[in-house]
Amino acid sequence: MAAVQTVLPFDLRGLRFALPAKQVMRVLPALSPLPLPQAPASVAGICQLHGKVVPVIDLSARLGWTPQPFGIWSHWIWLRSSRRELLLPVDRTEPVCHLDSELHAVSTLQDCQSGVSGVLQTAQGLYLLHDIESFLSPADEQALNHALAQHADH
One of 3.30.1330.100, 2.60.40.1180, 1.20.140.10, 2.40.50.180 is the CATH number of 3-153, namely 2.40.50.180
Q: What is the rounded CA–CA span in Å between residue 15 and residue 37? A: 30
Classify the C-alpha dihedral 148-88-82-42 as positive or negative.
Answer: negative
More confident residue, 151 or 47: 47
3-state secondary structure of 50: coil
User: 40-49, 59-68, 84-93: which has the minimum mean pLDDT?
Assistant: 59-68
CB 46 within 8 A of CB 149: no
pLDDT of residue 112: 43
More confident residue, 110 or 20: 20
Structure confidence by residue, pLDDT tens digits, 62-74: 888 888 888 889 9
pLDDT of residue 1: 46
Q: What is the rounded CA–CA span in Å between residue 86 and residue 78? A: 6
More confident residue, 56 or 120: 56
Q: What is the pTM of this model?
A: 0.86
| Residue 9 Cα distances to 41, 71, 98, angstroms | 25, 19, 10
Structure confidence by residue, pLDDT tens digits, 112-145: 445 666 777 777 777 878 788 888 888 999 999 9
